[in-house]
Structure 1
Amino acid sequence: MPELYGEIDPPQRLLMGPGPVNAHPRVLRAMSADLLGQFDPEFTAYMNETMALYRRVFMTENRWTMLIDGTARAGIEAALVSLVEPGATVLIVRAGRFGLLLSEIVERAGGRIETVDAEWGAVVPMERIADAIARVRPQVVACVHGDTSTTMAQPLIGLGEICRAAGALSYVDATATLGGMAVETDAWGADIVTGGLQKCMGGPSGSAPITISDRAADFIFARRHTEKGIRRDDLSDGGRPRIASNYFDLAMIMDYWSEKRLNHHTEATTMLYGARECARIALAEGLEARFARHAAAGRAVTAGLRAMGLTVFGDDAYRMSNVTGVYIPDGVDGERVRTRMREDFEIEIGTAFGPLQGRIWRIGAMGYNAMKHKVLITLGALEAVLRAEGFPVKSGAGVDAALESYAS
């Protein structure tokens, strides 16, 4: 007889890495509510409420604002496979790991990739993006707002205007910033923006909020098929190549979220409950207050790290408020420090990717964890571990500096 294993009883860890973070208790309670059928009028009312809530979270008037069932990457992929036609030129703004992810998805969708790049730890000036758009004349421009691999936030004011003038559609991945930094969809003029729950929104991974402009929706609907038995390589009814994915076909998903309620998939009821509660919590706090809370936590983390004699990674002018990169000191085993943080203090901090692997730690303070006491606990634990590893840190230096940062 196969082993049945024990009941799940995970340790109560404080997740202070780049995400996921601890979910707000109200979100977990909402997710324990009874299931409903996907066409139950009570449930479709919840769907409509969720759309209205996320319009405010995305700071937009977009009618097409909803959820994609799946992790944040599901939203990214739905956006790109629905925007990128085979052979279309796509300009990708890249300054970290998640810009590289956009490249991989676009390549799989059959797009022709052009890039405008910056070193990890920097951002791409809007002037360079504008020059690249003028040079390559892309159909789509794709970028990441906050790339947790580098902890930098890409400035996006003016992007939509430049794209529209060139006849391009624009996509922004705001997975790491939605609910923690201003995601100004309408002010940016972005055509599609996607997010996730597991970072600043304070929920679990598994649902991807998305907002779509009417301009992008018209383009996507033009790729929709209505006839049965049409081969994948045939044109859509609108004369455009149809979207290669069924699950991530935004035209079909929008039909499901519309008044038509055309069946596309069985909605992830529990995740919708959680996403709805994430938005309710964020809006009840107030977006400006929430952004200020994340910014205060980020400043305190940075101040504490520097007071410990550590060097913070990247450009202060463009630092994300919710994730801070810090160089691992010479002679210190970065993974051993992370292990001791987890085993001795039940705190998780992040490692890094690509050219930064083994060079920096990433410390997050976002969502339900962007709180003064959690920042102080994390800095105090890191001080203790660094001293135990032989790195000279004045006792209390990091915590004192963080307290001073909060006080100011």
Structure 2
Amino acid sequence: MVVFSELHTPLRTIMTPGPVEVDPRVLRAMSTPILGQFDPAFTTIMNEVMTMLRQVFQTKNTWAFPIDGTSRSGNEAILCSIIEPGDRVLVPIYGRFGHLLVEICERYGADVYSIECPWGDVFDPKVVIEEIEKVSPKIVAIVHGETSTGRLQPLEEIGRACRERDVLLVVDAVASIGGVEVKTDEWFIDGMIGGTQKCLSVPSGLAPITYNERIENILYARKKVERGIATEQDLNYKRSNHFIASNYFDLSMLQDYWGPRRLNHHTEATSMIYALHEGLRLVLLEGLEERFNRHQYHERALIAGIEAMGLKLFGDSSNKLPCVTCIEIPKGIDGESVRKMLLEAFSIEIASSFGPLHGKIWRIGTMGYSCRKENVLAVLGALEAVLIRHGVNVHRGDAIQASLDVYMSENQSLLKL
């Protein structure tokens, strides 16, 4: 019989676009004793999570709660609950996760239309609105912060156009929630999906969502269909235009679980709810505006160091995602070799990318608890050392000094961040 030892994981400085380092206060909260999911003490925690999520999502929606699963589960929960076979869905794609939205919509029978722009750019809202006019979709599904390219898509103009045309707008804000401004109500967003493992600095495993009464009305209409009768006919049943294919991701059932009825749906991931509760509490304690400013502050210090080193940033700078910085890999350099040496020699992790950008860029995340001065300085110093070892002619010593210039010249009250 093999005897396994207890876990001893290495200490890492995680500077990827997710997962990121978890705030130690969140880790402590996860060790809180387990409560039963219908214990009044636990349902009180659930209610507080909903209240805090509304504040972070900047919404007055009735419904704001987490889906038990990674961020993708939130996308699927909202989309599968509102898509009926044959529905037209428009997906503007400017990176990897737009393609994911297409796949989810197709799996639930949608008639998907997509438009694409080069990776590293975002859409002019007018282009999306023109496509809405052509397609007349029921739903527009779009990514807000695209981590594969480090870009941030402007949404307010698109949201207003969708509302004026009675089109539902569903937004993947997994990479942006808690790190940059996300105004659910002001931007006319009907359904929003967040993630825990990025700017909220909570472990991966929950997908906070919110949706408004326009989506809720669809849920009520579909809920009228009788289901769950195990007859021979049911076994051969092909879903009608009102049948929600997923049981686990059925928002109407989850409403009954998170709402005052407290009808059993699944066994809640208790420790993860503790983690989310603490993560949200810390976001609100810091203050949304202060938190967004912190992410931009450390982004400036990181960019100053990268450029002073002699490296080139990737993508359109006018629509950069503040918490993800993409760097072009110097010609002739094996990007994976650099990442490997960073991890092995310095215990620092940065990310590569996907699809057409694989092997062409590195991605450095400054998200949540990972977004700290010591982390920025550490990754700059380590990257310079590793690039020198790989024969890259960098400007030695300039990166750290340029980053320190930012930290020492800006408002002194920010230096503690």
TM-score, normalised by the number of residues in structure 2: 0.95
One-letter code aligned to 1:366? M
SS in 2 for 1:216: helix
For 1:160 and 1:252, how far apart are their aligned partners in 2? Answer: 27
Aligned to 2:251: 250
Distance apart, 1:401 and its partner CA: 1.3
SS in 2 for 1:222: helix
1:25-47 deviation line (CA, Å, top 9, x unaligned) = 01111111111111111111110
CA contact 1:233–1:241 (8 Å) conserved in 2: no
One-letter code aligned to 1:345? F
Where does 1:65-144 land on structure 2 (aligned, <5 Å)? 65-144=64-143
Aligned to 1:348: 349
Distance apart, 1:234 and its partner CA: 4.8
Which stretch has the larger CA shift, 224-233 or 121-130? 224-233
For 2:404 and 2:196, how far apart are their aligned partners in 1? Answer: 29
Distance apart, 1:4 and its partner CA: 3.2
Q: 1:220 to 1:87 in 2, by over 3 A?
A: same
Unaligned runs of 5+ in 1: none
Distance apart, 1:84 and its partner CA: 1.3
CA contact 2:140–2:168 (8 Å) conserved in 1: yes
For 1:24 and 1:159, how far apart are their aligned partners in 2? Answer: 35
Aligned to 2:413: none
For 1:344 and 1:187, how far apart are their aligned partners in 2? Answer: 47
Aligned to 1:325: 326
Aligned to 2:229: 229
One-letter code aligned to 1:111? A
Aligned to 1:149: 148
Distance apart, 1:312 and its partner CA: 0.3
For 2:279 and 2:220, how far apart are their aligned partners in 1? Answer: 29
SS in 2 for 1:200: coil
For 1:158 and 1:261, how far apart are their aligned partners in 2? Answer: 38
One-letter code aligned to 2:259? S
Distance apart, 1:226 and its partner CA: 4.9
Q: Does 1:213 align with 2:218?
A: no
CA contact 1:93–1:142 (8 Å) conserved in 2: yes
Aligned to 2:31: 32
For 2:164 and 2:116, how far apart are their aligned partners in 1? Answer: 22
Aligned to 1:190: 189
Aligned to 1:307: 308
Aligned to 2:262: 261
For 2:213 and 2:157, how far apart are their aligned partners in 1? Answer: 19
For 1:177 and 1:258, how far apart are their aligned partners in 2? Answer: 27
Aligned to 2:371: 370
Q: 1:339 to 1:234 in 2, by over 3 A?
A: closer
1:279-333 deviation line (CA, Å, top 9, x unaligned) = 0000000000000000111122111111111110001110000001001101211
For 2:205 and 2:312, how far apart are their aligned partners in 1? Answer: 34
Distance apart, 1:270 and its partner CA: 0.7
1:357-380 deviation line (CA, Å, top 9, x unaligned) = 000000011100111111011101
For 2:178 and 2:166, how far apart are their aligned partners in 1? Answer: 30
CA contact 2:310–2:395 (8 Å) conserved in 1: no
RMSD: 1.2
Aligned to 2:292: 291
SS in 2 for 1:383: helix
For 2:227 and 2:315, how far apart are their aligned partners in 1? Answer: 52
Percent identity reads 49
For 2:83 and 2:400, how far apart are their aligned partners in 1? Answer: 48
CA contact 1:15–1:21 (8 Å) conserved in 2: yes
Aligned to 2:42: 43
One-letter code aligned to 1:398? A
Q: How many residues align?
A: 403
CA contact 2:145–2:176 (8 Å) conserved in 1: yes
For 1:228 and 1:112, how far apart are their aligned partners in 2? Answer: 27
SS in 2 for 1:188: coil
1:122-175 deviation line (CA, Å, top 9, x unaligned) = 001110111111110001100000000000000001222211222211100000
For 1:398 and 1:217, how far apart are their aligned partners in 2? Answer: 51
Distance apart, 1:15 and its partner CA: 0.5
Aligned to 1:358: 359
SS in 1 for 2:298: helix
Aligned to 1:9: 8
For 1:330 and 1:116, how far apart are their aligned partners in 2? Answer: 31
SS in 2 for 1:178: coil
For 2:59 and 2:399, how far apart are their aligned partners in 1? Answer: 39
Aligned to 2:415: none
Q: Does 1:337 align with 2:338?
A: yes
CA contact 1:223–1:241 (8 Å) conserved in 2: yes
Distance apart, 1:405 and its partner CA: 2.4
CA contact 1:158–1:189 (8 Å) conserved in 2: no
Which stretch has the larger CA shift, 393-402 or 132-141? 393-402
For 1:77 and 1:177, how far apart are their aligned partners in 2? Answer: 18
For 2:63 and 2:46, how far apart are their aligned partners in 1? Answer: 12
SS in 2 for 1:91: strand
One-letter code aligned to 1:54? L
One-letter code aligned to 1:142? A
Q: Does 1:20 align with 2:26?
A: no
Which stretch has the larger CA shift, 330-339 or 286-295? 330-339
Aligned to 1:397: 398
SS in 1 for 2:369: helix
Distance apart, 1:260 and its partner CA: 0.8
For 1:227 and 1:353, how far apart are their aligned partners in 2? Answer: 41
CA contact 1:123–1:154 (8 Å) conserved in 2: yes
One-letter code aligned to 1:359? K
Aligned to 1:53: 52
